[in-house]
Chain A
Amino acid sequence: MNVPSTHQLLQTLQSASEHLSTNDRRDFLRRGMSYAAGAAAVGVSTMASTAALNSNLPPNEPQWGRQLGTGVVENPYGHPSPHESQVVRRTVPWLTAESVSSISMSPIQDLKGIITPNGLVFERYHSGVPNINPDEHRLMIHGLVDNPLIFTMEDLMRFPSVSEIRFIECPANGGMEWRGPQMEALQFTHGMLSCCEWTGVPLKVLLDAVGIQTKGKWVLAEGADGAHMSRSIPIEKVLDDTLVVYAQNGEMLRPEQGYPLRLINPGWEGNTSIKWLRRIEVGDQPWHHREETSKYTDLMADGRARRFTFAQECNSVITTPCPENPIVRKGFLEVEGLAWTGRGKIKGVDISFNGGVSWRPAQLKGLVLDKALTRFSFSTQWQGEAWLIQSRAYDDSGYVQPTLAQLREQRGVNSIYHKNSIHTWQVGPAGEVKNVQIT
């Protein structure tokens, strides 16, 4: 008899619950998770004493060691193991009217390190994903320039290339929770977030090629998709670190991420990193287009609205434990999470286990890069205590991640975007994790 792993059980529960309504699903998963936790505990002890229950465990030779596996180029472009099929992008259909103008979230609860695999980078489309033939794609740069130019993809790839690891985040990440906690999983509270190594040409190099005129203070970037998505970007940013990229994580861009060409404005709200980039116009003032007036402006409590809120401010969240990764065993526990800031580098992260009454410094681990996801870690023991666990990041600009109460006091609850407040998970006595807010 096979004893399924906790992981397999969760996977089964996940797929078995997909047809259920939210409430039913929540109950189903909660019951299922405690069953999974129990089964895993039973499994461990059973396996230790009566290994014969599982013919693939020591001292037996597992089945896969007694036969040949599949050969080379069985999958010319490989896929993740079928045992990882629960690691996928997910959406919340009631957020938007249609899937072609919608958003999906990265499964950040399942990801390791700081790089988001290409197939899991969150999606945001305003008119769906265009199918673009790169041979027929052009980038036009014109406006207040001396020599307007058109570049083919081949042209762009002849320029010296740069590769930078940068996060990209939708400013609406977390935006469903200004009034209270309502998402039941980390993927939905923070998953409009990804981080890739991007390869391309600094936009400054291309602007030098066309010869930008001194009156040029803003650029308009525009996509080739049906929305012809457009944003105005100040020249200071463009000359600082904006990239025109054609590759991500070692391969050409995915269609979902702008194939064959997109902009990357490091640390800025994701929608400014125009996908399927086809045109850049240099001008002397911003264009005030729909996606920088009607949308992506932040309405304050007094009825006035902040505009051109470009920077994604310092933010962090704990990924272990989280609702999808409950604590299943007493004893050693590495509390882990992600921190990021659009204003530079993460300098440190503190963790509270008591809802913000007291804080302990966590360790940063792995690469700590400018405007990139950064991992933090705190090794501890869990013996069934109730926790209100929080992370609080601070960056090298001196900014400390704020509380939700502070943001609400300044902005009210209708600003939708840029909710980067300290996040709280409630850990219960069985290790289950719930999304809550402390005020």
Chain B
Amino acid sequence: MFKLPKPLLAMALLAAFTAEVAYAENYQIGTPATAVQIAGWDIDIRPDGKGLPAGSGNAINGEEGYEIFCASCHGVFGEGEGRWPVLAGGEGTLEDDRPVKTVGSYWPYASTLFDYIRRAMPFNAPLSLNDQQVYDITAYVLYLNDLIEEDFELSQDNLAHVKMPNEDGFFEDNRPDVSNPRCMTDCADPSRLMMQTSLAGVTPIGHFVEGADAPAASHSDQHDLEASKEAERKAAITGEEMATSVNQDITLMSTQALAGEATYKTACGSCHGSGLAGAPKLGDAEAWSKRLEKGNDLLIIHALEGYAGSEGYMPAKGGRTDLTDEAVINAVLFIVESQQ
């Protein structure tokens, strides 16, 4: 071990004993953010159009992108699929018992649409669209709400001027809006009090999902429940006997497929369990049969490199680029063998 000679050690200690420490608040911490760094992250748009990138787009060009990236959740006409948000319609319903809050009926500014599509959509691959696609799809959603014409060229210069019907429907927080006196005795007439016990079938709205059924123990159980109801519905229509089980006996699976189950659960299940973004659901024999006909190689290529088509959208590796190719391939085999 390195040792200081004794005289030097004494000098070092002397220095420590005589140190004067000043109180200081001049931190000088942090590194200057360069213009290039800021430009990369500064994605926000304001109602006055500040932040909009150069460019323009229209609904005619937006239709294809909307159908690939959006329609599987939001519906071909913005009517919403399953329990995903409705984008269009609902005009004049805000005072109704069950208001329908959409871009057209509720949102105060068109800028919010551009901002949100760019920062968070498509749901499974945020920030993957280029500015041209965002302009086109924004125009298409505004068109679905009858707010612009199909050929209207929505641009950096005019987006802020698209007047939204409900712009004036908002007011600033004015709470407290109620005042309850701190009464201690005879605060109510017991004979006039009504007690309401649990209401069956009162479903939450708006922030939550309307028309939802009884709760299941987990989202995965919920999806299973919905899948079995859908199978029942289809069977009732076709008169066919229902498939008895969607769960393959795992003892018959290959080693690779078994290894892929964990990846499926953590990475693939959020879309292939629910049908998000048009993903064929695990166990949906009809949806998988035509894909399986084309062979495992094509499925694996789509899983690794991504797929965009009329039936849905999947980013490369489902957006989980941290996964190895092997893990993705095993997960594909798990899905394939689950169908057999």
What sequence of 0s and 1s flags, for each residue 1-15 of chain A, a beta carbon within 8 Å of any chain B beta carbon?
Answer: 000000000000000
B-contacting 9-mer, from A28-36, A37-45, A223-231: A223-231
A435 at the binding interface (Cβ < 8 Å): yes
B244 at the binding interface (Cβ < 8 Å): no
Given contacts A142-B42, A401-B180, contact A150 B175 (CB under 8 A): no
List 17 additional contacts besides A155-B29, A158-B29, A293-B109; criterion CB under 8 Å. A93-B221, A94-B215, A94-B216, A95-B212, A97-B83, A150-B31, A159-B29, A172-B208, A285-B46, A290-B120, A299-B94, A304-B171, A307-B170, A358-B184, A388-B195, A400-B179, A438-B196
In the bound assembly, the distance between CA atoms of A141 and B42 in angstroms comes to 10
Given contacts A148-B33, A350-B184, contact A97 B107 (CB under 8 A): no
Per the CB 8 Å criterion, the residue count for chain B at the interface is 88
Within 8 A of A (CB), among B74-116: 82-84, 94-95, 99, 101, 103, 106-109, 111-112, 115-116
Given contacts A93-B219, A181-B199, A182-B202, contact A403 B111 (CB under 8 A): no
What sequence of 0s and 1s flags, for each residue 190-209 of chain B, a beta carbon within 8 Å of any chain A beta carbon?
Answer: 10011111111011111111
B284 at the binding interface (Cβ < 8 Å): no
Q: Are B120 and A226 in contact (CB under 8 A)?
A: yes
B119 at the binding interface (Cβ < 8 Å): yes
Identify the interface centre among A102, A287, A350, A358: most chain B CB within 10 Å of its CB. A287
B-contacting 9-mer, from A80-88, A112-120, A276-284: A276-284
B5 at the binding interface (Cβ < 8 Å): no
Q: Looking at the assembled complex, report how far the CB atom of B83 sits from the nearest CB atom of chain A, in whole angstroms.
A: 4
Given contacts A22-B215, A293-B109, contact A126 B120 (CB under 8 A): yes
Which of the residues B27, B95, B116, B180 comes within 8 Å of A406, measured between beta carbons?
B180
Identify the interface centre among A92, A98, A172, A222: most chain B CB within 10 Å of its CB. A98
Residues on the B chain within 8 Å of A354, using CB = 190
Instruction: Write the chain A residue with the least CB distance to B25.
Output: A160
A414 at the binding interface (Cβ < 8 Å): yes
Q: Are A93 and B218 in contact (CB under 8 A)?
A: yes
B172 at the binding interface (Cβ < 8 Å): yes
Q: Are B120 and A127 in contact (CB under 8 A)?
A: yes
What sequence of 0s and 1s flags, for each residue 173-189 of chain B, a beta carbon within 8 Å of any chain A beta carbon?
Answer: 11111111111111110
What sequence of 0s and 1s flags, for each residue 48-62 of chain B, a beta carbon within 8 Å of any chain A beta carbon?
Answer: 100000000000000
A402 at the binding interface (Cβ < 8 Å): yes
Q: Are B116 and A290 in contact (CB under 8 A)?
A: yes
Residues on the A chain within 8 Å of B186, using CB = 357-358
Given contacts A159-B29, A285-B46, contact A438 B182 (CB under 8 A): no
Q: Are B270 and A209 in contact (CB under 8 A)?
A: no
Residues on the B chain within 8 Å of A392, using CB = 180, 182
Within 8 A of A (CB), among B272-295: 274, 276
**Nearest 5 A-B pairs (CB), nearest first?**
A94-B212, A303-B94, A149-B30, A97-B83, A180-B199
A379 at the binding interface (Cβ < 8 Å): no
Residues on the B chain within 8 Å of A357, using CB = 186-188, 190, 193
In the bound assembly, the distance between CA atoms of A279 and B181 in angstroms comes to 43
Within 8 A of A (CB), among B137-190: 169-188, 190
B-contacting 9-mer, from A51-59, A68-76, A308-316: A308-316
Which of the residues B185, B195, B196, B276 comes within 8 Å of A98, measured between beta carbons?
B276
A381 at the binding interface (Cβ < 8 Å): no
In the bound assembly, the distance between CA atoms of A155 and B107 in angstroms comes to 39
Q: Are A96 and B208 in contact (CB under 8 A)?
A: yes
**Contact size range, A:** 35 or more
Residues on the A chain within 8 Å of B216, using CB = 93-94
Task: Provide 24 A-B residue pairs closer than 8 Å at the C-beta atoms, listed in order of the A residue.
Answer: A94-B209, A96-B83, A99-B218, A127-B123, A128-B270, A140-B38, A142-B38, A149-B31, A151-B31, A158-B27, A176-B202, A222-B44, A226-B126, A290-B120, A299-B101, A306-B173, A359-B183, A392-B180, A400-B179, A400-B180, A435-B198, A436-B198, A438-B194, A439-B196
Q: Are A159 and B27 in contact (CB under 8 A)?
A: yes
Given contacts A150-B30, A400-B180, contact A97 B120 (CB under 8 A): no
Q: Are B120 and A180 in contact (CB under 8 A)?
A: no
Q: Are A179 and B202 in contact (CB under 8 A)?
A: yes
In the bound assembly, the distance between CA atoms of A150 and B35 in angstroms comes to 12
Q: Are A155 and B184 in contact (CB under 8 A)?
A: no
A302 at the binding interface (Cβ < 8 Å): yes
Q: Are B33 and A303 in contact (CB under 8 A)?
A: no
Within 8 A of B (CB), among A142-199: 142, 147-152, 155, 158-159, 172, 175-176, 179-182, 184
Q: Looking at the assembled complex, report how far the CB atom of A146 sits from the nearest CB atom of chain B, in whole angstroms.
A: 11
A353 at the binding interface (Cβ < 8 Å): no
Q: Are A287 and B31 in contact (CB under 8 A)?
A: no
Q: Looking at the assembled complex, report how far the CB atom of A29 sits from the nearest CB atom of chain B, in whole angstroms.
A: 13
Given contacts A102-B219, A283-B46, contact A309 B188 (CB under 8 A): no
In the bound assembly, the distance between CA atoms of A159 and B25 in angstroms comes to 9
What sequence of 0s and 1s flags, for each residue 294-338 of chain A, a beta carbon within 8 Å of any chain B beta carbon?
Answer: 110101011111111111010000000000000000000000000
Given contacts A94-B222, A288-B108, contact A436 B197 (CB under 8 A): yes
Residues on the B chain within 8 Å of A295, using CB = 207
